[in-house]
Amino acid sequence: MNPQELPVLFPCEGSAQVGIFHLAEKPAKTGVVMVVAGGPQYRVGRARQWVGFAKYLANAGYPVLRFDYRGLGDSAGIFLGFEAIDTDIRSAIDAMKAKLPDIENIILWGECSGASSIMMYAWQDPRVKGMVICNPWVSDEATQAQTVIKYYYLRRLQEKSFWLKIIKGQLNILNSITSILNLWQQSKLPKTTPQVSSPEYHTLRYQDKMLEGFSRFPGKVLFIKEALSLTGKEFDMVVAASGRWQKALQRDTVTHTSDQVRKSDGYSLKAYSLRFVDDALQWLTKQDFN
């Protein structure tokens, strides 16, 4: 196949959003809309992997739309935060359906805060039949501090390079101790437990919107866990403390895959990037979204 790339402008509440279509030569009935993480993103390095993912999927027959939501990248408007991009995602889906009217199933794909945005949005749009989710962002001050202490500092104590820095006087021990003590104090802050299921969805904290939205979503989900990601570890801690999260993740519609061998964060190595997207492609080809 020879996928085609086409730029697109589409409106979102009076602002122009910019995207790139990756069009398959013989498109499947399922299209993928990629939702980027909601913070400053470079066009090279880790963020560049999304281009490779889109090309890989399009080459396999699945059309893809990558886009910048308002206030980020090349899109106009004001960035309202990843908690408030429902309209941006809906506009991107509208653009894909307008360009490819034969598309029957929309899959939303995202990691970090992009995954969080998807989990808050997908249940509200019946056109969305599936989600590919990686390391959703659920951070608050206490769980973030606990994660750094448990999975960063304790790991560093086991590394030879850490002790060599101490021996050579290359580590400011006082600053490190101060940092650990500050994190320890933050980790003792009262934990925020998920609220009970509420019809007042839009009044919830974003973490509770994620849980509520994910629980209400009737479609198929591929949940990808990165073994060394601190964001993923923090999500694991939240899930371990919540029966509602555990129940939502144990549904028959949710498929789990885990990368236990990666050596760097963010799928930055090409081999692991290919494994990530290949896992998702295999999942896509096996699904009946009707």
All domains of the chain in start order, with CATH: 4-139+198-286 (3.40.50.1820), 143-187 (no CATH)
Average pLDDT of the segment spanning 237-246: 88
Mean pLDDT of all residues in the chain? Answer: 80
Phi, psi of 284 (to 5 degrees): -60, -45
192 confidence band (pLDDT: 50, 70, 90): low
Q: Are 79 and 69 in contact (CB under 8 A)?
A: yes
pLDDT tens readout for residues 60-109: 999 999 999 899 888 999 988 999 999 999 999 999 999 999 999 999 99
Would you state the pLDDT for residue 55?
92
By C-alpha distance, which of 121, 107, 83 is closest to 221? 107
Nearby residues of 106 by Cβ (< 8 Å), 6 or more positions away: 30, 31, 32, 33, 93, 96, 97, 125, 127, 128, 129, 130
Q: Are 98 and 23 in contact (CB under 8 A)?
A: no
Residues 51, 198: Cα–Cα separation, whole Å: 38
Average pLDDT of the segment spanning 271-275: 67
The residue among 5 and 241 whose pLDDT is bigger is 5
Residues 45, 42: Cα–Cα separation, whole Å: 7
Q: How many residues does the chain have?
A: 290
Residues 138, 231: Cα–Cα separation, whole Å: 8
Separate counts of helices (H) and strands (E) for the chain: 11, 8
Three-state secondary structure call for residue 224: strand
210 pLDDT more than 70: yes
**DSSP characters for 92-150?**
HHHHHHHH-TT--EEEEEEEEHHHHHHHHHGGG-TTEEEEEEEEE----HHHHHHHHII
164 confidence band (pLDDT: 50, 70, 90): low
Residues 118, 145: Cα–Cα separation, whole Å: 25
Does residue 45 come out as left (phi exceeding 0), alpha (psi in the -120 to 50 range) or beta? left
50 confidence band (pLDDT: 50, 70, 90): confident
Residues 182, 135: Cα–Cα separation, whole Å: 25
Q: What is the DSSP letter of 168?
A: T
Cα end-to-end span (Å), the chain? 26
Would you state the pLDDT for residue 63?
97
Phi, psi of 162 (to 5 degrees): -65, -50
